[in-house]
């Protein structure tokens, strides 16, 4: 899909934008007036469905496949955004993978895969964003509330998200003088395929009961936070927002 470059609206790149929180964030930003580049790793059908939904609602969007840990592919992703829409203002880095097991049983190949996508992927995407975002923009990474909850079985995943938080806080300070905010969203238990996969009903019900609001989060709940950080939240910078319904 090709469109003529335009500077009439702000532009967002959303990684992991074909499903779950990424897709909901892409659709929300489109409804906020952004032109959106939906990045996906492999599921072209889902990515095109996300684009179709945005366009049907009157927005602008294209899909582009890129492995977030591949610097050449991510550079090409930004090239397409700039060629199609004239620049990039907001990057929402929602792509991530999760494998759960006690530390003692964790498969090291799974550990390496999580670190490649969640740590290297964040570093690569943020590096391109830092180089190419227009002044006044925003970088929004994704961490997880499991860092503060210390749930058994999440050691490898939480370790990867700890690295995301460290990068986020430091990059915010490195962007001094650019009027670019850098924050991370740390969802709690959220009803996505990534969270629900492999969990029985009892486990899901127990985790849903943890917040004072007594339910799982939804992708829409998290997309509201993304919208806030991408738009009006210009004085929120270098922060991790734990969007988890009040779990302590």
Number of independent structural domains in the chain: 1
Residue 239 to residue 37: CA distance in whole angstroms = 25
pTM equals 0.92
CATH number for the domain harbouring residue 26: 3.40.50.720
Residue 1 included in any domain:
no
List active site positions. 157
Residue 215 included in any domain:
yes
* pLDDT tens-digit series, residues 200-233: 788 888 878 888 888 888 999 999 999 999 999 9
Q: What residue numbers bound the domain in which 91 lies? A: 11-241
Residue 207 included in any domain:
yes
Residue 213 included in any domain:
yes
Residue 26 included in any domain:
yes
Residue 247 included in any domain:
no
Residue 64 included in any domain:
yes
Residue 6 included in any domain:
no
Order of strands, sheet of 11-15, starting from the edge strand that comes earlier in the sequence: 60-65, 35-40, 11-15, 90-93, 138-142, 181-185, 240-241
* pLDDT tens-digit series, residues 171-187: 999 999 999 999 999 99
């Amino acid at each position: 899909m090709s469109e003529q470059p335009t500077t009439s609206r702000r532009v967002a790149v959303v990684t992991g934008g074909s499903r779950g929180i990424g897709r909901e964030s892409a659709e929300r930003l489109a409804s906020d007036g952004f032109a959106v580049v939906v990045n996906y790793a492999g599921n072209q059908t889902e990515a095109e469905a996300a684009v179709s939904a945005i366009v049907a609602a009157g927005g602008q969007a294209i899909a582009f496949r890129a492995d977030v840990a591949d610097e050449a592919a991510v550079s090409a992703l930004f090239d397409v955004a700039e060629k199609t829409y004239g620049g990039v203002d907001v990057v929402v880095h929602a792509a991530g993978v999760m494998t759960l097991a006690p530390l003692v049983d964790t498969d090291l190949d799974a550990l390496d895969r999580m670190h490649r996508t969640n740590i290297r992927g964040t570093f690569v995407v943020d590096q391109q964003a830092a180089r190419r975002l227009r002044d006044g923009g925003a970088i929004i990474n994704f961490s997880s509330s499991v860092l503060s909850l210390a749930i058994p079985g999440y050691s490898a995943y939480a370790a990867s998200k700890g690295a995301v938080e460290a990068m986020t806080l430091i990059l915010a300070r490195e962007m001094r003088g650019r009027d670019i905010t850098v924050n991370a969203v740390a969802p709690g238990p959220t009803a996505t395929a990534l969270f629900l996969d492999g969990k029985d009903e009892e486990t899901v019900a127990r985790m849903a009961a943890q917040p004072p609001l007594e339910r799982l989060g939804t992708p829409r709940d998290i997309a509201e936070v993304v919208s806030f950080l991408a738009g009006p939240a210009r004085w929120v910078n270098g922060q991790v927002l734990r969007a988890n319904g009040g779990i302590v």
